[in-house]
Structure 1
Amino acid sequence: MDETSDSSGVGVLDKAAMVLGALEGGPATLAQLVAATGLARPTAHRLAVALEHHRLVTRDMQGRFVLGPRLQELASAAGEDRLISSSLPILVALRDHTKESAQLFRWQGDYRVCVASAEPKTGLRDSIPVGATLSLKAGSGAQILLAWEEPERLHRGLIGASFTATTLSQVRRRGWAQSVGEREPGVASVSAPVRGLDGRVIAALSVSGPIERMGRQPGRLYGPAVVAAANRLTEFLRSIEESGL
């Protein structure tokens, strides 16, 4: 690696930072990491696996490298991510009310990433761990993140999606989204928007579980509870911002 102003003088650390930076835009195969960083293939692989050991990197269901949960944990511990830290008690309350898994998703590159979750204490689980990277083309969380976007980005997002513009119009009208077997066979979910101080949608708050429990119209059963939880998180974030804390 060339010695530039970006170099810390500690080569292995600089190369690891390059790998993490390459993953900021979303999942990457080893070949894509090599192309993005310019590192030799064995070096890129060795660094990615070492970062995986420390949970700074993990892998998605396709085996691609993605940013790991440890990064979110460190950000929350440092008080840098109020969205995540503020969401945790609300997700736990929603989980306890619905008896289903509760998650918070944020848009990252061309994907959505689970940044916080609360799993049922007992029984069957629809586990989506923190750090999991999911498609923006399917699922109620994807519908929420896309529904209020600018027209150009919305239309691009609909290309190849499992839902339509009509679906997103319905989402905007009723304030929640639902999916049944859309992202994964046998799984249903309901999501609602979390908004920032400017009213922009910054995250999707969701519950998910087996279709046999949630039914074919999960929004009728869980929509009001998910919307109420998302609104509580929105109001709490607004109160923090307005108070200047």
Structure 2
Amino acid sequence: MTGTATGRPSSGVGVLDKTSLLLGVLAGGPASLRTLSDVTGLSRATVHRLALALESIRLLTRDAQGRFLIGPRIGELADEAGRDRLLQGADAVLADLRVRTGASARLYRRQGDLRICVATAEGPGTGRQARSALGVALPMKAGAGAQALLAWEDPDELGRAMRGAGFGAVTLTNVRRQGWAQSLGAGELGFAAVAVPVRGAAGRVVAALVLDGPVTLLSRAPGRLHGGLLIDAAARLGAGLT
């Protein structure tokens, strides 16, 4: 990347440089067409054309006053970029949870109607290795992990995802209020689980952190027993993504 006479970075591709100028202004908050033109030095016609194009691919959006602001696709791309960082920090956090609780600690990501186990630390003698091993896909219709991944979804997506689920809106309201989800026997009789969301850029839920094990180990109230511990661990994971 080269520089311009004004000291602004330049890629040598005009449309990219102009887009970079717009995004740089909007990083500070919403701005009108006039403000974008005044700050960047670009003509209103150029700003309008670029802003509409960026809006069409969700890199920009508008607020209630019609001002432009950073769009949702930016956050989604930031989440994607943070995926490797999430896994880099996962092993140590999961191992610590296993030692402190004796339960299995796992990290799940959502892929459509499935949740995929992307990291795991098996608790001694918990007996669920086959069901919840690394890479195993589980449905989003039951379990604490599914609830933690869905509870903060937008209403339209939530309604679609919950069709046929073994939990309802009241359950997810409680998850949002408590900050954790729990389940008893959702995947296997005699087992309990507690889960919390892991948040990435802009507070988006990017994964679920889950403890599971026999009810005799986690009790019939695993959320009360370990919810706070799990929330702190999820915060440590999320700190590396923002």
Structure 2 counterpart of 1:124: 126
Tell whether the 8 Å contact from 1:86 to 1:237 is kept in structure 2 after alignment: no
Give the superposition deviation at 1:185: 1.7
Segments of structure 2 that go 5 or more residues without pairing to the other structure are: 1-81
Q: After superposition, give the CA deviation of every residue in 1:176-235 in whole Å (9 maximum; x if it has no partner).
A: 000001222221100001011111000000100011221211111111111111111111
Partners of 1:116 and 1:161 in 2: CA distance: 25
Give the superposition deviation at 1:126: 2.8
Structure 2 counterpart of 1:147: 151
Computed over aligned residues only, the root mean square deviation of the Cα atoms, in angstroms, reads 1.5
- Does residue 1:134 correspond to 2:168, yes or no? no
- Does residue 1:85 correspond to 2:88, yes or no? yes
Tell whether the 8 Å contact from 2:86 to 2:240 is kept in structure 1 after alignment: no
Segments of structure 1 that go 5 or more residues without pairing to the other structure are: 1-78, 239-245
Q: After superposition, give the CA deviation of every residue in 1:135-168 in whole Å (9 maximum; x if it has no partner).
A: 1000000001100001011111221111110000
Identical amino acids, percent of aligned pairs? 50
Match of 1:100 among 100, 103, 115: 103
Q: How many residues align?
A: 159
Tell whether the 8 Å contact from 1:192 to 1:206 is kept in structure 2 after alignment: yes
- Does residue 1:159 correspond to 2:172, yes or no? no
Mean CA deviation greater in 107-116 or 212-221: 212-221
SS of residue in 2 equivalent to 1:112:
strand
Tell whether the 8 Å contact from 1:107 to 1:145 is kept in structure 2 after alignment: yes
* Bigger Rg, structure 1 or 2: 2
Partners of 2:160 and 2:223 in 1: CA distance: 26
Q: After superposition, give the CA deviation of every residue in 1:104-150 in whole Å (9 maximum; x if it has no partner).
A: 00001210000000112x33333221101001000000001100001
AA aligned opposite 2:106? Q
Give the superposition deviation at 1:80: 7.0
- TM-score using structure 1 length: 0.62
Q: After superposition, give the CA deviation of every residue in 1:80-118 in whole Å (9 maximum; x if it has no partner).
A: 722112111111111111110000000012100000001
Structure 2 counterpart of 1:115: 118
Structure 1 counterpart of 2:196: 192
Partners of 1:191 and 1:158 in 2: CA distance: 18
Tell whether the 8 Å contact from 1:105 to 1:205 is kept in structure 2 after alignment: yes
Partners of 2:212 and 2:181 in 1: CA distance: 12
Partners of 1:183 and 1:154 in 2: CA distance: 21
Q: Could you list the structure 1 runs, at least 4 aligned residues long, displaced by more than 6 angstroms after superposition.
A: none
